[in-house]
Amino acid sequence: MVEQNGVTAPDVSTSPDRTVEEDRPRSIVRDDRRAADGVKERLQRSVLLFLLGAPSLERLQQIIDEEEREVEEGTEKKKEKSWSELRNVLTDRTNNINVVSALVVASSSVFLSTPAPTPHMSLWNADFPYFCMLLGFGCAMLAIVSGFAEIVCLSLIGPEDIRLARERTLTRVALLVLLMLPLAWLLVASLSIGVAFTSAVWLGDILWMKVLFTAGYAIFLFNLFLIILVLL
């Protein structure tokens, strides 16, 4: 509170409504990306954000560079802090992928090791459903292995390695592939298991289950179409 001419007025400089620019959290995606980029660029940025956790390798480096330029003293300490926060985000994301992949491995192994309980409803003994389930099991295992490799890699690399990856094409491709592999394998595993479920049901004798699965796929495609519209 500030007293002026006998009148007490609120201190605007300490008002809670004011937002300090430096306290705002960093965003992986810029707010003005729709005005700056075309449809192709936005689609590429969205796919990389989904698979990589950031729209591009340059954006990862840009976050670190912006953090470094904000202070004139303690540059090295600030750089390590900003990279540590970014690394923790990517590590938590990879850990979540590993947990989901482990659940996929556990559930698919049950279907692979036990006979079909209701062969008239879903025919798991057929070659195609069994192959798709086996493919999903293998891809989930690869997701776990690549996830652990990504965690080890994130614990070893630093901002200078990302800057080096931007300058060398081979290092850049290798780093991008390593960061995208866990989620990519998990997506392939989920798609394979979904195809296995659908084919097993369609090889069965229950008509209403076939209709139900077909309607489920239609709803899934509709939701995917809405997500693409939002991203674009």
* 16 in a structural domain: no
Average pLDDT over the chain reads: 74
pLDDT exceeds cutoff 80 at 151: yes
Lookup: tokens for 24 = 């705002």
* Most trustworthy range by pLDDT among 74-78, 146-150, 176-180: 146-150
* 33 in a structural domain: no
For residue 173, what are the domain limits?
39-67+80-231
More confident residue, 171 or 67: 171
Provide the pLDDT confidence category of residue 166 given band limits of 50, 70 and 90.
confident
* 24 in a structural domain: no
* 43 in a structural domain: yes
Sign of dihedral through CA atoms 91, 92, 93, 95?
positive
Tens-digit pLDDT profile for residues 46-79:
666 666 666 555 566 566 565 555 544 455 555 5
* 55 in a structural domain: yes
* 141 in a structural domain: yes
* 57 in a structural domain: yes
Taking residues 34-55, report their average pLDDT.
Answer: 62
In the chain, how many domains are there? Answer: 1
Least confident of 39-53, 55-69, 76-90, 205-219: 55-69
* 27 in a structural domain: no
- DSSP letters, 140-188, are HHHHHHHHHHHHHHHHH--HHHHHHHHH-HHHHHHHHHHHHHHHHHHHH
Provide the pLDDT confidence category of residue 218 given band limits of 50, 70 and 90.
confident
Q: Are 78 and 71 in contact (CB under 8 A)?
A: yes
d(CA 1, CA 12): 9
What is the reported pLDDT for 228?
A: 73
